[in-house]
Amino acid sequence: MSPLPFPVRQIAYAVNDVRAAAQRHHELFGSGPFFVMEHIPLRRALHRGAEAPFDHSSAYGQWGEVMVEMMHQHNEGPSAVRDMYAPGKEGFHHVALIVDDLAAARAHFAAQGLEEALYAEMEDGFQFVMVDATKDHGHMIELYEGVPSLTGFYDYVRKVAGDFSRGVVRTVGG
């Protein structure tokens, strides 16, 4: 099976405090500005095929050519985050790919023997998955289709990446 021809569009870290982690990343690497989304609402979340709530917040910023995400899981239940990090622990978590066809990408990774650790649907029906590549690569792989709401957000974050006049960390909707 041929590899997927999609570049890494995002790297993500599991953190204890999305704002503090975003600020520190900015101080170390000049990334940002970061946009925080709190308690991102999901219509549905499956952890390894079983229903499992996934309450999380994320800070999104630009780091050169790639978006960087700081994410924090609020609930204690099983998840693709808890598969790698116990509560209170932090570290590199996943890379994200924007694919043309989510079903085909899921099938591609399943055929490679990589298990789906997370399937999630946002309130608007947007779907994303995390494939467990920890055995081979030490991290998860997030997959989603390039729908306008997603690519528009990526484009916006990239566009404002050099403007820190309003602060490094901002709350979306606030």
**What is the tens place of the pLDDT at every residue in 154-173?**
999 988 886 554 455 656 65
In terms of Cβ atoms closer than 10 Å to its own Cβ (0-12, 13-18, 19+), residue 115 is middle
Is residue 9 within 8 A of residue 154, CB to CB? The reply is yes
C-alpha to C-alpha distance for 22 and 17, rounded to whole angstroms: 9
**pTM exceeding the 0.85 threshold for the entire prediction:** yes
Q: Which residue type occupies 20?
A: A
- Residue 83's nearest CA partner among 123, 140, 18, 5 is 140
Q: Can you list the domains of the chain with their CATH numbers?
A: 8-160 (3.10.180.10)
Reported as a single tens digit per residue, the pLDDT across 15-57 is 999 999 999 999 999 899 999 999 999 999 999 999 999 999 9
DSSP state of 7: -
Mean of pLDDT values over 82-99:
97
